[in-house]
Amino acid sequence: MKNLFVTVLLIVLSATLTLAQEPVDALRYSNVLYSGTARFNGLSGAFGAVGADFSTLATNPAGIGLYTASEMTFTLAPTVGSTESVYNGMSASGNRVNLGIGNFGAIFSISPYNKNKDNAVRIINVGLGFNRQNDFNNSVTIHGVNNQNSMMQSYVNTLNANKTPEGSVMDNYPFDIGLAQAAYLIGYDPNTKSYFCDAPYGGVVQDKTILTYGSMNEFDLSAGANIMDKLYIGMTVGIPTINYYEHSVYRETRADASISNFQSLTYRSDLHTNGTGVNFKFGLIYKPAEWVRLGASIHTPTWYPNMRDQWASSMESRFSDSTNWSSISYSPAGSYNYQLTTPFRAMGSIAFIIGHYGLVSADYEYLNYAEARFNSAGDSYSDVNNEIKTSYQSAGNIRVGTEWRLADFRIRGGFGYFGNPYQLKTDKSERYQVSGGVGYREKHFFADLSYVWTKMNQNYYLYDPAMVNPSAITYYTNTLLATIGFRF
């Protein structure tokens, strides 16, 4: 049973395009990597107890209570995503550039403190705007020689194991195996009542390119208050939007001259996912002394009531017999509507204020990826939701940062660690982040510039992991953020 579970999970991690949602889809949209302003990113997001930055609307909304004036801010965030892969001893790389927006928005101080009155509530602030939560832009290239089997053979194994009738292959597998049969990559022997292919023992060059693009962005509407310059409270209504696009091209080309007929196959698939959700965030910051601040916040699960997937695929084959011919087959256009709920999150923070010279801060964030759930009025998601529960686990994310003041200038640095969401120890997907930046601040204007570098390792399987070795992929992200802001 344990071996069966491992196989099922690794098939999910291979990101094969299917009709139904998979645990990896829930993970993708549960994994929030807060962006926002350059100052926020310069400290790797360790702002839960610092406050007075627009990005805190998305992490600890109590930070809005520390504003003493109104403010408008805008951030550009160009990103270069790159990958390196090693498959069967062969290396490949890919990269993708995206010019994104980190944030834009405004804070309005609607009840400034009147020193002539002994009001418990010193300031009330409201804020609204946009914060980026994840960037999906990347390119993965995998290249290697397989001398054991082919993707065609994995299809054959599936059909033979399920004893699929010859005339029902396209009905049962219209987006992958059915296309292979229609393109003459899979044959059927009526005598043995079994399927076969031209490269059962490999001897093929395998290549795959996966292009992903899109983002998760959240519109935040927040309110916060300063109570006696000791306690700061805040609340945010978050409206996140998802736009995810994936285009993949998988190729097998004959490398062994002993393979007859078959020359190459090309499998193309496209997926577009979009949806809009809602969540609520509550936070507080407490100052027991002027030199220390304590912060805490909770985020309700995000509910996406209108998720929609659209997908299509095609299979092209080429053969080198006496006529050198080719064939191509296309899938129907698929679409599906469903609901998604992502996990609850909780954060604890501490910041030390070193006079007028600088600060050191740290955040700890907890979430349980196994709590994500799919739902639909027309279908039961019990199987995939059970896979989510047994595939993923709780994780802790740690962010630390520091900022130092030199007259009107600031110097910043930070580090982040994002825990492994997988239960299986064979798939470690921790993410590491290092950041740094500078800033200039005066009474009515500020400008900040930061650089963020992240790294993550992950195993990727081209198809059935019982048949192929993993491709070890390293993901790198390089983001430069530039923020300008005005106080009034």
* Predicted confidence pLDDT, tens digits, the chain (488 residues): 334 333 333 333 333 344 468 888 999 999 999 999 999 999 999 999 999 999 999 999 999 999 999 999 999 999 999 999 999 999 999 999 998 899 999 999 987 656 556 678 889 999 999 999 999 999 999 999 999 999 999 999 999 999 999 999 999 999 999 999 999 999 999 999 999 999 999 999 999 999 999 999 999 999 999 999 999 999 999 999 999 999 999 999 999 888 888 999 999 999 999 999 999 999 999 999 999 999 999 999 999 999 999 999 999 999 987 678 999 999 999 999 999 999 999 999 999 999 999 999 999 999 999 999 999 887 778 889 999 999 999 999 999 999 999 999 999 999 999 999 998 776 678 999 999 999 999 999 999 999 999 999 999 999 998 999 999 999 999 999 999 999 99
pLDDT at residue 9 in the model: 39
**Whole-angstrom Cα distance, residue 468 to residue 204?**
12
Q: How many CA atoms lie within 13 A of 299 on its CB side?
A: 30
**Whole-angstrom Cα distance, residue 375 to residue 385?**
9
**Within 10 Å of residue 466's Cβ, how many Cβ atoms?**
14
User: What's the start-to-end Cα distance of the chain, in Å?
Assistant: 64
DSSP-derived letter for residue 386 is: H
DSSP-derived letter for residue 390 is: H
CA pseudo-torsion sign 94, 307, 347, 130: positive
pLDDT at residue 258 in the model: 84
**Whole-angstrom Cα distance, residue 268 to residue 210?**
10
Residue 286 carries which side chain, given as an amino acid letter?
A: Y
The greatest distance separating any two alpha carbons of the chain, rounded to the nearest whole angstrom, comes to 97
DSSP-derived letter for residue 52 is: -
Q: Return the closest-CA partner of residue 85 out of 453, 457, 428.
A: 457
Q: Give the DSSP letter string of 161-194.
A: HHT--GGGHHHH-TTTHHHHHHTTSSEEETTTTE
State the Cα angle at 279 between 29 and 135, rounded to 5°.
Answer: 30
User: Tokens 């407490």 belong to which residue?
Assistant: 286
pLDDT at residue 12 in the model: 37
Q: In the numeric block, which tokens belong to residue 45?
A: 């997001």
Which residues, in sequence order, are CB contacts of 37 under 8 Å at separation 6+? 53, 54, 55, 73, 75, 102, 103, 448, 481, 483, 485
Q: In the numeric block, which tokens belong to residue 178?
A: 């059915």
In order of 73, 82, 205, 459, 474, the CA distances from 94 in angstroms are 33, 6, 18, 16, 11
pLDDT at residue 114 in the model: 60
26 alpha-carbon distance from chain centroid: 10
CATH topology of domain 2-150+199-487: Porin (2.40.160)
Q: Return the closest-CA partner of residue 63 out of 47, 46, 51, 50.
A: 51
DSSP-derived letter for residue 392 is: B
Q: In the numeric block, which tokens belong to residue 217?
A: 């962005």
**Within 10 Å of residue 245's Cβ, how many Cβ atoms?**
16
Question: What is the SS3 assignment for 255?
Answer: coil
Long-range pairs, 465-469, Cβ under 8 A, ≥24? 465/7, 465/10, 465/11, 465/13, 465/14, 466/7, 467/148, 467/149, 467/153, 467/154, 467/157, 468/146, 468/148, 468/149, 469/87, 469/88
Residues shown for the chain: 488
**Whole-angstrom Cα distance, residue 342 to residue 278?**
11
Phi, psi angles (nearest 5°) of residue 171: -65, -40
Q: In the numeric block, which tokens belong to residue 237?
A: 């209504």
User: Tokens 């809602």 belong to which residue?
Assistant: 278
pLDDT at residue 5 in the model: 37
In order of 63, 316, 359, the CA distances from 235 in angstroms are 10, 53, 25
Q: Please give the torsion angle defined by the CA atoms of residues 133, 414, 481 and 37, in that order, rounded to the nearest 10 degrees.
A: 60
**Within 10 Å of residue 253's Cβ, how many Cβ atoms?**
15
Phi, psi angles (nearest 5°) of residue 441: -140, 130
Q: Return the closest-CA partner of residue 340 out of 67, 29, 121.
A: 29
DSSP-derived letter for residue 470 is: P
Q: How many CA atoms lie within 13 A of 38 on its CB side?
A: 28
pLDDT at residue 116 in the model: 53
The answer to whether residues 234 and 63 touch, using CB atoms and an 8 Å cutoff, is: yes
Phi, psi angles (nearest 5°) of residue 89: 80, 0
129 alpha-carbon distance from chain centroid: 22
Q: In the numeric block, which tokens belong to residue 286?
A: 């407490």
Question: What is the SS3 assignment for 2?
Answer: helix
Q: Where do the domains of the chain lie?
A: 2-150+199-487
